């Protein structure tokens, strides 16, 4: 078993990606962490659908400046285990 597979198994509770993200993050940061962990590209539209359906993330009342535009900031809800979210993307 390689290290990445070991990190994303559901039996490994501290959620590695949660430690790879700042407490407030934008979707592109989440996308980059997940793609790095599962070793393949994820479509942004699919990721957004899963973020919205998962009930694991919440929007905050702040925006991040990204170039000339602003991006919505998110945070993990307390007690959420993001490992399950990542495993669904890697199938």
Encode pLDDT of 9-48 as tens digits.
Answer: 443 333 556 667 888 999 999 888 888 877 889 899 988 8
Q: Is the dihedral of CA 11, 58, 63, 88 positive or negative?
A: positive
What percent of the chain clears pLDDT 70, i.e. is strictly above it? 67
**Between 6 and 63, the higher pLDDT residue:** 63
* C-alpha pair distances (Å), 32 with each of 1, 7, 56, 90: 22, 16, 18, 14
Tokens at 77, concatenated: 């809800």
Please provide the distance, in angstroms rounded to a whole number, between the alpha carbons at the two ends of the chain.
17
In eight-state DSSP terms, residue 77 is P
Chain mean pLDDT for the chain: 76
């Amino acid at each position: 078993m390689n290290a990445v597979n070991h990190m994303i198994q559901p039996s490994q509770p501290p959620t590695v990606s949660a430690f790879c993200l700042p407490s407030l993050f934008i979707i592109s940061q989440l996308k980059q962490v997940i793609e790095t962990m599962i070793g393949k590209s994820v479509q942004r539209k699919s990721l957004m659908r899963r973020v919205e359906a998962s009930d694991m993330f919440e929007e905050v009342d702040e925006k991040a400046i990204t170039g000339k535009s602003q991006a919505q900031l998110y945070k993990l809800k307390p007690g959420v285990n993001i490992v399950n979210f990542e495993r669904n993307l890697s199938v």
